[in-house]
Amino acid sequence: MKMRLQKVLAQAGVASRRRAETLIAEGRVEVNGQIVREQGVQVEPDRDLVRVDGRLLELERKVHYVLYKPPEVVTTLADPQGRPTIAPLLAAIPERVFAVGRLDYDAEGALIVTNDGALAHRLMHPSFGVPRVYLAKVKGVPSDATIDLARRGLRLEDGPVTPLEIEKGESAERNTWLKLVLTEGRPHLVKRLCAALGHPVVRLYRPLYGGVSAEGLRPGEFRALTPPEISLLKNGGRRPIPPVAELKAPPRRHRAQDDETPQAPLQQRQLDDARSEPPKSKKSMMKAPHGAAPAKASSRPNAQRQATPPKSRFAPDKKRDATDRSRDERHRERAPDRRDRSDRPMSARFTKPASPRAIGSDRFAPRSVPTAKHSAKHPAPKNRTRPSR
């Protein structure tokens, strides 16, 4: 069977297809003793002799593995952001392999790893309908009406989605396990589907991909597929899917790492600790001089110290009240004809009295109110002269 030259180089593990095209353009590839610089040349790997930099090309055998992808690992061989990838997990495989499809950064479960490009295309393309089984732990308990709505299908921002199967599993007080079977692998499809139903995903696990299970593997381990499993993948992974009760949930993670009980931020924890501590006194807050011995603790027990109520700055003081009353009495004796200001209302205590010049003057009276004229009954005040001594 004839194949393109760059595809043969990629399957042999020399380089990727784009890198193989660069090698061909540089004149480093020979076919039957002749240098080839054109792209898209068809060759027969079983008959033609292909050399790269003078070395005879040997086609790699097809290998197929299943990897238990752990959470917080990117499904790629190189990440520009420096996050952990699956490359160290596949270092023991001598052939150049790649992952079939992707799993989210925080998702875990079965991931097919192979160097068979034709099989990878059949597994990933939605037209072949390869089933992908997911166990999603969601917040809350979805009702039967919500499950029926998901069975009929929903329309997301990138198109409609209709699960092949959806079933409610074990429920807890705050979370519920859902089994979803999909035949396509759009980005974050399970998370967006559950969010549209009103139950966001807390944890995502894929136990089956095309009928191949990751059961018996720990996170980060892989195993080679058996011949029946390879035949099952080539036939589209069509076999009866077990119910949700028979699917094993992933091992429970530590509570600090579980998404259902997130740990409070550092600033919030420090604030809670400060609120729980008893208030410090001024003496304890003062720093001791260098070389001095620390202050001794109080000899009274804690119960006695707590039973003693703190002295308030607004507590009544009998001695001070007696002093204030004696001062007021002396003031009344010195000025008996003067009205005590304490008997006046609060508004009158702080009101500035009007100027004597303004009282009865036309200049300070309103224009709309006429002023009273002096008459014989009400004569004008006479200028009083101060008697000489």
Give the domain CATH number at 17: 3.10.290.10
Residue 222's beta-bridge partner residues?
Answer: 67
pLDDT below 50 — which residues of the chain?
Answer: 255-267, 282-285, 297, 303-304, 340, 358-359, 361, 364-365, 368-371
Q: In this structure, are 51 and 152 located in the same domain?
A: no
Do the strands 201-209 and 212-213 form a parallel or antiparallel pair, or are they unpaired?
A: antiparallel
Claim to verify: residue 183 and residue 220 sit in the same structural domain: yes
Q: Tell me, yes or no, whether 70 lies in a domain.
A: yes
Burial state string for 306-318 with b = 16 or more CB within 10 A and e = fewer than 16: eeeeeeeeeeeee
Distance between the two ends of the chain, CA-based, in angstroms?
142
Q: How many structural domains are present in the chain?
A: 2
- pLDDT, residue 263, reads 43
Q: Are residues 147 and 166 in the same domain?
A: yes
Last residue of a domain, one of 190, 216, 234: 234
Same domain, 85 and 182: yes
Task: Identify whether 339 is part of a domain.
Answer: no
Residue 202 located in a structural domain = yes
Residue 67: φ, ψ to 5°: -115, 135
Tokens of 330: 């002396």
Whether 118 and 13 map to the same domain: the answer is no
Tell me the two tokens of residue 386: 């101060």
Handedness of CA 378, 380, 385, 386 (dihedral sign): positive
Cβ atoms within 10 Å of 62's Cβ, excluding its own = 14
Residue 378: both structure tokens together? 């009400």
Q: Is 117 in the same domain as 12?
A: no
Instruction: Please write the tens of the pLDDT for every residue from 110-165.
Output: 999 998 888 999 999 989 999 999 999 999 999 999 999 999 999 999 999 999 99
Query: Judging by beta carbons within 10 Å of its beta carbon (0-12, 13-18, 19+), is residue 259 exposed, middle or buried?
Result: middle
> Which among 79, 130, 70, 81 is positioned nearest to 101, based on CA atoms?
130
Note whether 122 and 161 are same-domain residues.
yes
One domain, residues 115 and 22: no
Contact 71, 89 (CB under 8 A): no
Q: Are residues 134 and 162 in the same domain?
A: yes
Domain assignment of residue 87, given as a range:
64-234
Tokens found for residue 219: 């996170």
b (16+ CB within 10 A) / e for 13-25: ebbeeeebbebbe
What the block records as the tokens of 109 is 């479960």
Give me the catalytic one of 48, 53, 79, 104: 104
The last residue of a domain, from among 234, 266, 298: 234
pLDDT score recorded for residue 3:
84
CA-nearest of 185, 145, 182, 154 to 166 is 182
Residues 228 and 191 in one domain: yes
Each as own residue / partner, the long-range contacts of residues 163-170 (CB below 8 Å, 24 or more positions apart, any chain) are 163/193, 164/131, 165/241, 167/243, 167/244, 168/142, 168/244, 169/135, 169/244, 169/245, 169/247, 170/249
Three-state secondary structure call for residue 13: coil
| CA nearest neighbour of 145 among 181, 204, 200, 198 | 198
Q: What pLDDT score does 264 carry?
A: 44
Q: Is residue 258 part of a domain?
A: no
Would residue 104 show up in a list of annotated catalytic residues for this protein? yes
Q: What is the pLDDT of residue 265?
A: 46
Residue with token string 């260098």 = 290
Q: CA angle 24-30-35, nearest 5°?
A: 75
Residue 386, CA distances (Å) to 265, 356, 383, 389 in order:
83, 18, 10, 9
**Same structural domain, 48 and 74:** no
SS3 for 120? helix
Domain membership of residue 176 (yes or no) is: yes
Whether residue 89 contacts residue 43, with contact meaning beta carbons closer than 8 Å, is answered with no
Q: Is residue 11 part of a domain?
A: yes
Token pair of 320, please?
Answer: 């001070």
Residues 41, 109, single domain; the answer is no
Q: Determine, yes or no, domain membership for 362.
A: no
Q: Give the integer Cα–Cα distance in Å for 261 and 179.
A: 22
Q: Is residue 49 part of a domain?
A: yes
Domain C-terminal end among 234, 261, 285: 234
> Which candidate, 79, 86, 142, places its Cα nearest to that of 109?
86
Q: Which CATH number is 113's domain given?
A: 3.30.2350.10
Residues 86 and 67 sit within 8 Å (Cβ to Cβ): yes
